[in-house]
Chains A and B, each alone.
Chain A
Amino acid sequence: MKRIKTIQTRDLHKSITEGGCGECQTSCQSACKTSVANQKCEKSL
């Protein structure tokens, strides 16, 4: 596509079947403790 570049992102529709394991880190434990975007999926680590 000449005028549009699509950046590779996780397919949220696919994640219905491949996600939901619950093994990822609880977001509030990671750094800020006061204020999920910054989390990684455990399977991608």
Chain B
Amino acid sequence: MGNSNKITNDILKSICRMSSLSLTEDEQADIIEQLNSIASLFDEVNTSPDGIDDLRTENYLSPDKPKLFQNVKGLMKNVPVKEENLVVCPVMSFKGKQK
């Protein structure tokens, strides 16, 4: 993990608040070490330091539109909600009015 993304005490407090979890001070010290150790693994897929993003240069995905299920042909055909005014989400179907 690059230094810019290192998990600090302040970041940990912030993610604890977002996760509705609390940690004692001793636990905080331990978990920061563990999280940074695990997160070091993530450098494998992080943007490289010179700014060249080797995974994106080959147009696997457009930046803001992940095509998570593009290789499962016919998957969307199985989503049970097909009425015109309903929104369909690829992970779970839910009913909501489109604007």
Q: Do A and B bind each other?
A: no
Name A residues whose Cβ lies closer than 8 Å to a Cβ of B.
Answer: none
